[in-house]
Structure 1
Amino acid sequence: MDSPAVTILKNGLNVVVEPQPWNPGLSFTLLVPVGSVNDPKDKLGAANMLETWLWKGAGPRDAHAFADALDALGVRRHSGAGVEYTTFSASLLPEGLPAAMELYADLLQRPHLPEAAFESVRALALQELAALDDQPARKLMQHLRREVFASSHGQPVEGTRASIEGMTPDSLREEYHRRYGAQGSVLAVAGGVDAKEVFDLAQKHFGSWGGKAPSSPPVKLTEPHRFYLSQETEQVQIGLFYRDVPPGDYNFYAARLAAMVLSGGMSSRLFSEVREKRGLAYSVGASPGSVKGFGYLVAYAGTMPDRAAETLRVVRQVIHDLRQGVSRAELDRAKVGLRAELMFSGESSRARSSTMARDVYILGKARGLEEIEAEVMDVTLERINLFLGKNPYDDPWTGTLGPREVV
């Protein structure tokens, strides 16, 4: 498969296309660098609320007519705000692309942001915030991020009750005008399309879009420490956060493969040692993550209060023992697992458009699946073990949530 085709419009919008002649459908993702990381301190949750408000009518259509127009094209849409950016995606048949592109151009450039819908947007934001109490694992991991980052990367996507209640229609509109812009944003398309056709459509519908999306601040961390959240629950949630290498680093895929050894299935070390051998946790795993310029590994375990201390000890020990290296069999299984993930993502136009948009945002370039697979296969046993020996996963930030503190 050829590398994706890329162009940058004069207004700074990045456009990337991966034609998939075998695919009867297509997907596109619009990534705008508007996230909780650039929410003002007194407007936490603004990016999240804006994403909801934008759908309340755009261009010549009110909210109902806009939804009807998308449904008439058979568009399956998805959107959401995160730490660093907000994405708007669509999956549809190729013949509907011109009309769908026009609709999304209205959504981002000509939203109504009607005052009459503002209170419903606020109510949804408050409900989402309140729902965290019913999702203790998510609540813990959100708080873990806040404990780790001294920079605004730790700001909650959902905001706070005070900031949401203090928001006004005018203050939120100000955030839209200040933060939504073409320069720095990304349009990624994958599926049964021609690259030139996409570039022409992008120019037609987004070429006059002005503005500059905000940049992310540099990452700053606190010192590793432990914290405890008290909540009357039947289980205890455990979260650990480790520094890791960022995307684009020479050892990035060595780190990804190490994470697969830890948590890549029923034969992985955490599942085997924590759950199968000792029966300590009903759920356990580890996953890599990143923000621009910084990578990390997060581990999670859910267990009973009387087993929490032992679960935490064993999880830390299993991760610590990675410094001793992995076996040939473990590396081979990890490569198979990671390549399978790549293959499945390659079959999904939505997954590919999302991945390409993120690659352009994080790395400044879009990579083809063959390039990524080659980097994975280039990791030898000697190389991964040398990396793990020199970069041990130690000294994590550690958080627990439950009826009593884990000691």
Structure 2
Amino acid sequence: MVSTMAEIRTHTFPNGLTLAVEEQPWNPGVSFTILVPAGAVTDPEGLEGASSVLESWLWKGAGTRDARSFAEALDALGVRRASGAGLEYTTFSASLLAPHLGEALALYADLLQRPWLPEEEFEAVRLLALQELAALEDQPSKKLFVHLRRAVFTSPHGRDAAGRREDLLAMTPDALRADYARRYGARGVVIGVCGGVRFEEVRDLVEAHWGGWTGGAPEPPAVTLSEPHTLHVPQDTAQVQIGLFYTDVPPTHPEFYTARLAAEVLSGGMASRLFTEVREKRGLVYAVSASPGSVGGVGYLAAYAGTTPERAAETLKVLTREIARLSEGVSADELARAKVGVRSALVMQGESSRARAAALARDWFVLGRVRSLEEIEREVEAVTLERINHFLEAHPYERPWVGTLGAQPVEVA
């Protein structure tokens, strides 16, 4: 049984910012994740990629410090940091010794509330974004799913956080500053904190440094989907990439962990169905996997296979058949292995304060509440063989969107 022996408490300030703290008295360190609800979904029309460019530009000076002195101030506190923009939000994280938390939160308050956004640094940031986008040509599997997402979602949820070349080229410093003012504010921001701190102490620090922040991101658009169909992305390559996209239950659904265990049966290791049936028994692929996800309250299961042109049609046939075969049920041994896999992931997350801080922020953003590791494990353990098989029979994985990338389209049976 996973046991953190940690208390989780939350507080929402009058400006709309929410704090979630998991106390770990035994931990000398602390991690925090600041989730800002500014992602590709709410990028301005014609400026896709704005969230990613802003995330990088924000680090180019804040408060009273230029980029170099800001980095030196964080280094002096021993802060290990990261940030990144995604579809629905942008995150800024840090890990450090607990006594320095107040100083770090003050620096991050400058970063997000008082950035310089200097014009002379804008072009370098944009060039990096263009290079990242160009790197897709060397990552065919990732490129396929960029196209497949755009085909699945007719709403902006099909966008890629890296943006589009024409939009990146059209960006100007003034347009990005206006976008920062429109989307960066306290309302909807979540700060997840995990480590050797007390809730009251962190609450007071956040109130002191973040309580005066105003504004907030606009509401995201509703999710809309196309009808399932097939698309092909032509690229002169010796391999063929295959992607499948199925709708699934979202994280708010009572059977979310049932679906999560079903995905583990499919693709949870070398004993999983996809690895065994598609790769080991038939030798059809060099890579195969399936993973659950969600965006905008819509759940999905994405599956991938990499193969050769000669084996592509059979790979697609076997891949879709194995996923559809879940509706016939799983065995007791498969469910037991799936639970072990999910529990192992929980244990690893529990050992990382950075992972827990990120999970706290993400939970509040997606669910409007925070789950403990114990709660998640109870949900997983409550899934019986009868329950998962009843769910799979009632929710078959069928009618996927199908995407392929390669020199020629793949015949779809």
What TM-score does the superposition give when structure 2 sets the normalisation length?
0.97
Counterpart residue number, 1:183? 187
Aligned pair 1:222/2:226, yes or no? yes
Counterpart residue number, 1:152? 156
Partner SS state of residue 333, structure 1: helix
State the Cα distance separating 1:2 from its structure 2 match: 4.4
RMSD: 0.8
Task: Quote the Cα distance in structure 2 between the aligned partners of 1:320 and 1:100.
Answer: 49
Describe the superposition over 1:171-200 as per-residue Cα deviations: whole angstroms up to 9, x where unpaired.
000000000011111000001111111101
Counterpart residue number, 2:322? 318
Task: Quote the Cα distance in structure 2 between the aligned partners of 1:216 and 1:22.
Answer: 39
Task: Quote the Cα distance in structure 1 between the aligned partners of 2:409 and 2:61.
Answer: 48
Task: Quote the Cα distance in structure 2 between the aligned partners of 1:213 and 1:27.
Answer: 24
Counterpart residue number, 1:105? 109
Task: Quote the Cα distance in structure 2 between the aligned partners of 1:23 and 1:145.
Answer: 40
Task: Quote the Cα distance in structure 1 between the aligned partners of 2:110 and 2:304.
Answer: 41
Which of 337, 340, 343 pairs up with 2:344? 340
Task: Quote the Cα distance in structure 1 between the aligned partners of 2:106 and 2:28.
Answer: 21
Counterpart residue number, 2:199? 195
Counterpart residue number, 1:37? 41
AA aligned to 2:261 is L
Counterpart residue number, 1:330? 334
Task: Quote the Cα distance in structure 2 between the aligned partners of 1:280 and 1:198.
Answer: 53
Which of 81, 93, 96 pairs up with 1:92? 96
Residues 3, 367 of structure 1: 8 Å contact kept: no
Alignment of 1:250-261 (within 5 A): 250-261=254-265
Task: Quote the Cα distance in structure 2 between the aligned partners of 1:281 and 1:22.
Answer: 46
Counterpart residue number, 2:209? 205
Alignment: residue pair count: 407
Task: Quote the Cα distance in structure 1 between the aligned partners of 2:68 and 2:216.
Answer: 30
Q: Return structure 1 stretches of 4+ with deviation > 3 angstroms.
A: none
Residues 238, 398 of structure 1: 8 Å contact kept: yes
Task: Quote the Cα distance in structure 2 between the aligned partners of 1:234 and 1:102.
Answer: 52
Residues 30, 187 of structure 1: 8 Å contact kept: yes
Task: Quote the Cα distance in structure 1 between the aligned partners of 2:379 and 2:132.
Answer: 39
Counterpart residue number, 2:359? 355
Task: Quote the Cα distance in structure 1 between the aligned partners of 2:341 and 2:153.
Answer: 31
Task: Quote the Cα distance in structure 2 between the aligned partners of 1:41 and 1:105.
Answer: 28
Aligned pair 1:140/2:137, yes or no? no
Task: Quote the Cα distance in structure 2 between the aligned partners of 1:253 and 1:377.
Answer: 9
Residues 47, 157 of structure 1: 8 Å contact kept: yes
Partner SS state of residue 286, structure 2: strand
Task: Quote the Cα distance in structure 2 between the aligned partners of 1:404 and 1:21.
Answer: 58
Counterpart residue number, 2:370? 366
State the Cα distance separating 1:214 from its structure 2 match: 2.2
AA aligned to 2:302 is V
Describe the superposition over 1:203-243 as per-residue Cα deviations: whole angstroms up to 9, x where unpaired.
01100011122222211100000000011112111100000
Residues 6, 17 of structure 1: 8 Å contact kept: yes
Task: Quote the Cα distance in structure 2 between the aligned partners of 1:226 and 1:4.
Answer: 45
Task: Quote the Cα distance in structure 2 between the aligned partners of 1:166 and 1:306.
Answer: 42
Describe the superposition over 1:87-136 as per-residue Cα deviations: whole angstroms up to 9, x where unpaired.
00001111111110000000000000000000001101110111100111
Counterpart residue number, 2:235? 231
Aligned pair 1:174/2:178, yes or no? yes
Aligned pair 1:265/2:269, yes or no? yes
Task: Quote the Cα distance in structure 2 between the aligned partners of 1:232 and 1:220.
Answer: 32
Partner SS state of residue 163, structure 2: coil
Aligned pair 1:383/2:374, yes or no? no
Task: Quote the Cα distance in structure 1 between the aligned partners of 2:320 and 2:134.
Answer: 31
Describe the superposition over 1:42-65 as per-residue Cα deviations: whole angstroms up to 9, x where unpaired.
111101100000000000000000
Aligned pair 1:21/2:25, yes or no? yes
Aligned pair 1:282/2:286, yes or no? yes
What TM-score does the superposition give when structure 1 sets the normalisation length?
0.99
Report sequence identity in percent: 62
Which of 63, 88, 108 pairs up with 2:67? 63
State the Cα distance separating 1:40 from its structure 2 match: 1.6
AA aligned to 1:167 is M
Residues 236, 304 of structure 1: 8 Å contact kept: yes
AA aligned to 2:33 is T
Partner SS state of residue 266, structure 1: coil
Unaligned segments of structure 1, at least 5 residues: none
Task: Quote the Cα distance in structure 2 between the aligned partners of 1:157 and 1:259.
Answer: 25
State the Cα distance separating 1:360 from its structure 2 match: 0.2
Aligned pair 1:72/2:81, yes or no? no
